[in-house]
Amino acid sequence: MAKFLIQDWRIEISQKKDYASTVNELLIT
């Protein structure tokens, strides 16, 4: 499951082109 979450997280970074925003979402969640 961890690998799946990491893959989804990396895809989000690629789509948003916004690393900081994605990290903030992970920290909040």
Evaluate whether 12 touches 22 at the Cβ level (below 8 Å). Answer: yes
Q: What is the DSSP letter of 14?
A: H
Contact 19, 13 (CB under 8 A): yes
- 1 DSSP 8-state letter: -
pTM above 0.85, yes or no: no
Tokens representing 25 are: 């979402």
Q: How far is CA 9 from CA 18, 28, in A?
A: 11, 14
pLDDT of the chain, 29 residues: tens digit per residue: 577 777 787 777 677 666 777 788 888 76
Q: Which domain holds residue 26?
A: 1-29
The number of distinct structural domains making up the chain is: 1
